[in-house]
Amino acid sequence: MLVACALRELLRACLRRKNHGLAVTAILLVIIIVVLTSQILTTKRLHRHGRLALEGQPALTLATTFSDNPQRFQVHSQTVYNWAALRPQLRPVLFAGNLSSSLALLAKRHGWEVQFIQDADQQGMPYINSLFKLIQEQYDSHFYGYSNGDMLFGSSLTETLYSVQRETHVKHEHFLFIAQRTSVNYKDMLKMDSQFWRPDRVQEYACTMGRPDPPTTIDFFITTPYGIPWDTLPQLVIGKTCFDNYIIMIALYLFVGTVDVTGTVHNMHMTGGGKSMTHSDNHLLDQGANQRIINQFGHVSFELGSVANCKYLTRKTERGIELGKFLDWKIPPGFQRLQVNAKEMMVSTV
């Protein structure tokens, strides 16, 4: 880390003196050091457990945050019930600014881990970098993820991860799993079925009642251990736009295997109808904070961070859920231009 910091200072000095050749060399050295460190940490972790597939270890540690808005209590409570029902294969973790809030206490009663938000912006919203680093350091699982607090999942989530676990380990490649979300009006669902949150019913209703959203609306993502070098990314705020699209773009740049799990993971995104209970009415100030930080290094085409650009997919076959590769996959159009800016984007702004 000290070497990386020294190289970062060298980079800044080079940019001030407009020595672009040496600056590019410094950037590449920083990236190489971070990637090698990530591989070493993963190897140490595997040695500590003896093997990745540790018996009894959860498939997934999944973190989220909840809004303090009382109008969202009903939505978030459905999430608490749903994720709790997926234990012990899924370990749910709530990051909260108030450990005595109604939702934090509800989560604790249902077996959730509850962590105090330690690193946040002025509105108390956590940074995705710090969140991932903490759950990777404190909890053992095959995969680590973040999801918005209004997402429900079927048991197909953990089934998919267990199924592809061996393949991801054998390939010696880091992976990022994402999916196209399916939206429902939670008020209509509650009128129809007060326990629509149950994983088996989520699997049914996602197919019969859900409405697919655009492929750039990514409300959850999951990585292999240390799959993303979080220390090298700008500090991006959860709950504000574009941080998820940017992470997909970084994964593409670093040749992390991006996997579309839409075909095997049933999910439901709860809204209140129209734009109610979405980003449009979450009352967070400065929604463009992430975009502004990222675009300091040049304009970014966020639409590249899309499910449509995944290299792999999961699918059901006679042998079960398998990981497959899109035969015609290639780097998305316009990505070459992104790579020019990405070398600078990989350097933390902090």
Residues 6+ apart with CB under 8 A from 250: 228, 233, 256, 342, 345, 346
pLDDT at 201: 97
Q: pLDDT above 70 covers what percent of the chain?
A: 73
For residues 210 and 182, the answer to whether their CB atoms sit within 8 Å is yes
Of residues 76 and 41, the one with the higher pLDDT is: 76
* Among 54-58, 122-126, 302-306, 330-334, the least confident range: 330-334
Strand partners, 94: 64, 114
Q: Considering only the C-alpha atoms of the chain, give the largest distance between any 2 of them, rounded to a whole number of Å.
A: 66
For residues 254 and 227, the answer to whether their CB atoms sit within 8 Å is no
What is the Cα–Cα distance from 134 to 83, expressed in whole angstroms? 20
Length of the chain: 350
Domain ranges of the chain: 1-50, 51-345
- Best CATH choice for the domain 51-345 from the list 2.40.30, 3.90.350, 3.90.550, 3.30.460: 3.90.550
pLDDT at 53: 40
pTM more than 0.85? no
Residue range 87-139, pLDDT digits in tens = 999 999 999 999 999 999 999 999 999 999 998 888 888 999 999 999 999 99
For 177, other C-beta atoms within 10 Å of its C-beta total 28
For residues 59 and 158, the answer to whether their CB atoms sit within 8 Å is yes
Residue range 15-56, pLDDT digits in tens = 565 555 555 555 555 555 555 555 555 444 433 333 334 456
48-to-12, 42, 121, 136, 229 alpha-carbon distances in Å: 38, 10, 35, 14, 21
* Helix or strand holding residue 91 (H, E): strand 90-96
180-to-86, 174, 216 alpha-carbon distances in Å: 20, 21, 8
**What is the edge-to-edge ordering of all strands in the sheet holding 151-153?**
151-153, 267-271, 182-185, 211-212
pLDDT at 243: 86
